[in-house]
Amino acid sequence: MSDVHAEIREFLSSRRARITPEAAGLPAYGGNRRVAGLRREEVAMLAGVSVDYYVRLERGNLAGASESVLDALARTLQLDEAEREYLFDLARAAGPSRRRAGKPRQTVRPALQQVLDAISDAPAWVRNGRHDIIAANRLARALYSPVFDDPHRPVNTTRYAYLNPAADQFWRDFDQITHNAASMLRLEAGRNPHDPDLITLVGELSTRSELFRRRWASRDVMLHRSGVKRLHHPVVGDLDLNFESMDLPSEPGLVLNVYTAPAGSASADGLALLASWAATQEAEFAAHDVAAQSQRPTIAMPESS
């Protein structure tokens, strides 16, 4: 995202290349087309702009494009909701007066942590746009214990997915997880292209993971609001959990994730077992801390004369 104009070029051309004339409702004459997907002239015609103007847009000059033009491009290129959002973010990023967003939060208010802790029967945690887990309840820490056990900080699910060799054992849908993670990060890069920690994370993943480089180069973007996570926990085994991701209006940029299982299902039994294991682990840690403090040597203070 260091060169927004280059990103605009690649994004628009990649979306144009996937639309066939038939899919756009255009007649296909002959079988000798020199480009994959639509030609620039065809996009311009369908979007209701001149060819010269569209060529300028695809070269990266989205700054100043009106909302109606962006809407027409999104409709012509058959962009989904996430892609449309990304297009508008790129247009804002290309403008000369783009105000840099603040650095994503790394902590939550105590009241929000209390909300997480009050959710006792479901894993619940808060993440930022970089996928750092910045707050969690006890059951979420237990569920994601392999991720929390990774020594790198801050705890980051995408970094774990791509750089920890055990990740493909933790996520049973590993290919889908890595695709989703890269697509969500690219969407975040459009929203906040100047976040230095995001730039560092993408740079590290690009350097160390060939899989991430391939995922990132696809320029796919996506929203990830609900679905099913298929995990293999090292203590309780396989879990199929429904998840909901909710933006927090009081904490812009933060997302609340909650995982649940249908009552009476094997996964619900697994969550109950996980909760029992988590409580046992917490009690053992507390007992260890008490024992360690009791064994500390005391220092006798000299009596005052």
Write the pLDDT tens digit of every residue in 86-100: 999 999 998 875 555
Residue 245, both tokens: 């991701």
Query: Would you write out the chain's pLDDT as a tens digit for each of its 305 residues?
Result: 558 899 999 999 999 999 999 899 988 665 667 777 999 999 999 999 999 999 999 999 998 899 999 999 999 999 999 999 999 999 999 887 555 555 556 789 999 999 999 999 999 999 999 999 999 999 999 999 999 999 999 999 999 999 999 999 999 999 999 999 999 999 999 999 889 999 999 999 999 999 999 999 999 999 999 999 999 999 999 999 999 999 999 999 999 999 999 999 999 999 999 999 999 887 666 655 545 555 565 545 455 54
Topology of domain 110-287 in CATH is: Beta-Lactamase (3.30.450)
How do strand 237-247 and strand 226-233 relate by DSSP bridges? antiparallel
Phi, psi at 5, each rounded to 5°: -65, -40
- Residue 194: what pLDDT? 87
Distance between CA atoms of 215 and 211, rounded to whole angstroms? 6
- Residue 175: what pLDDT? 97
Cα 70 to Cα 8, 64, 115: the distances in Å are: 12, 10, 40
- Residue 215: what pLDDT? 97
Query: CA angle 191-193-197, nearest 5°?
Result: 110
Residue 213, both tokens: 């480089």
- Residue 135: what pLDDT? 97
Q: pTM for the whole thing?
A: 0.86
Task: Give the residue range(s) of CATH 1.10.260 domains in the chain.
Answer: 4-94
Whether the Cβ atoms of residue 165 and residue 255 lie closer than 8 Å to each other? no
Write the pLDDT tens digit of every residue in 151-170: 999 999 999 999 999 999 99
Q: How many CA atoms lie within 13 A of 196 on its CB side?
A: 1
Q: How many CA atoms lie within 13 A of 297 on its CB side?
A: 3
Residue type, 18: R
Distance between CA atoms of 194 and 189, rounded to whole angstroms? 8
Residues paired with 245 in a beta bridge: 257
* Strand, coil or helix: 56: helix
Residues paired with 223 in a beta bridge: none
How do strand 237-247 and strand 255-260 relate by DSSP bridges? antiparallel
Whether the Cβ atoms of residue 254 and residue 45 lie closer than 8 Å to each other? no
Task: Tell me the angle at which helices 51-58 and 4-17 cross, rounded to the nearest 10 degrees.
Answer: 120
**DSSP one-letter string for 184-239:** HHHHHHHH-TT-HHHHHHHHHHHHH-HHHHHHHHTT------EEEEEEEETTTEEE
- Residue 291: what pLDDT? 52
From the candidate CATH numbers 1.20.58, 1.10.260, 1.10.10, 1.10.490, the one assigned to the domain spanning 4-94: 1.10.260
- Residue 36: what pLDDT? 76
Q: Looking at 48-192, list the stretches that DSSP marks H as alpha helix, in order from N- to C-terminal side.
A: 51-58, 67-76, 81-94, 110-118, 138-143, 145-149, 157-163, 167-170, 174-191
- Residue 207: what pLDDT? 98
Instruction: Identify whether 196 is preceded by a cis peptide bond (ω within 30 of 0).
Output: no
Task: Give the residue range(s) of CATH 3.30.450.180 domains in the chain.
Answer: 110-287
- Residue 127: what pLDDT? 97
Backbone angle region of 103, left / alpha / beta, with phi > 0 → left and psi within -120 to 50 → alpha: beta
